[in-house]
Amino acid sequence: MDFKLSDDARAMQEMTHKMVNDLLKHEAHFHETNEVPDVVDATLRKAGYYGLAIPEEFGGTNVDKVTLALISLELARMPPQFWPLVRPSMGPIPHALLRHGTAKQKEQWLPQIAAGTKAGSFALTEPDAGSDVAAMKTTAVRKGDKWVLNGSKMLISNANKAGVILVFARTDKSKGRDGVSCFLVEPQNPGFGISKPIPTMGWMNDGVFGLTFENCEVPAENLLGEENRGFYYALEGLNEGRINVACQALGSSQIAFEHALQYSKDRLTFGEPLSSHQAVQHMLADMAMDQHAARLLLLDAASGLQNGDDVRLKCSYAKVFCTEAASRVADKALQIFGGAGYIRGMIVERVYRDLRVTRIFEGANEIQRNMIAKQLLNG
């Protein structure tokens, strides 16, 4: 496959790799204190990583999708808690604004996202509606110059830091998924509420949040795009999001592989390096093959997205294969470390723990398989 990597793309990938290696020296402090040193975000902000997916006219650098994937793979070698607000700046939020936002909406939000001064959040999941968007219960009713929202969302990441939240709500109950619209909700909108942090097993340092809308008033101009087209905007965003998750999973497992490979050379067992044992060699070979195959699948999907192709199938391929390959790699990496790998604060331990959620969010892998099979069977 020819992904036409430019010299600039390779240079940016190498620069990111070096920067990440430098920032990884702060990981031990993070595990000891559960606090991310300020220098981490300051470095990312100064280097312009918040604006990678945003055009220059709005203060970003607008790198192509393949380059964005390569950079994300490098950033994902860090703990996900080191760059929680960079990830959404690369995904469905700027994509939706660029594709469907008004000139005013773009001017209001994109420069702030690119600068890292305002974060975005994506609110689709509800207590009874995750992958099943047609079961959504949150409603929005037009009243004069406002939309009034009622309902709730759950398991929303970064909601406590978001300056704008993409909220999906039903605007026509008679149309099923064709009656869903998308709104730009701000935390200060009357009637908006956010829960206390809900702790998670890993990944999110602040946990996730529940959102409530009790006669929440949103200006009419904060409708994103066309009324009743929100379901399709969500699907578009999820293509971006699935590639994003695939990058996060694969990049995380890459550093686990790197550490396991080095450990297998350094660790002596029975007077010989651990790597001299055939069982360990086979694990390393399987890990390398999983990483390589997943990387090709991911870059193929990113290339298709860049070219404007219909990449629904490829994005599902990438999301499922990359997250599951990454989980296999992390499991073998921890096994190679043995008991030492099970200790909190070890890189292979945090990768193993953080990776688990990647098979769930942005569309559970079981749902992805349903979608893949449906497209195959329908020709």
Query: Active site includes 236?
Result: no
Longest CA–CA span in the chain (Å) reads 79
| 3-class SS letters over 201-264 | CCCCCCCEEEEEEEEEEEEHHHEECCCCCHHHHHHHHHHHHHHHHHHHHHHHHHHHHHHHHHHH
- Judge whether 71 and 249 are in contact, CB under 8 Å: no
Dist. CA 169–CA 177, nearest whole Å:
10
Give Cα 65 to chain centroid, integer Å.
14
Q: Say how many CA atoms lie within 13 Å of 161 toward its Cβ.
A: 18
Residue type, 179: G
Phi, psi of 113 (to 5 degrees): -65, -45
Dist. CA 73–CA 247, nearest whole Å:
5
The closest alpha carbon to 97, from 78, 87, 111, 115, belongs to 111
Dist. CA 154–CA 123, nearest whole Å:
8
Dist. CA 280–CA 283, nearest whole Å:
5
Q: Would you put residue 49 in left (φ > 0), alpha (ψ -120 to 50) or beta?
A: alpha
Residue of 32, 236, 362, 366 marked active site: 362
Catalytic positions, please?
362
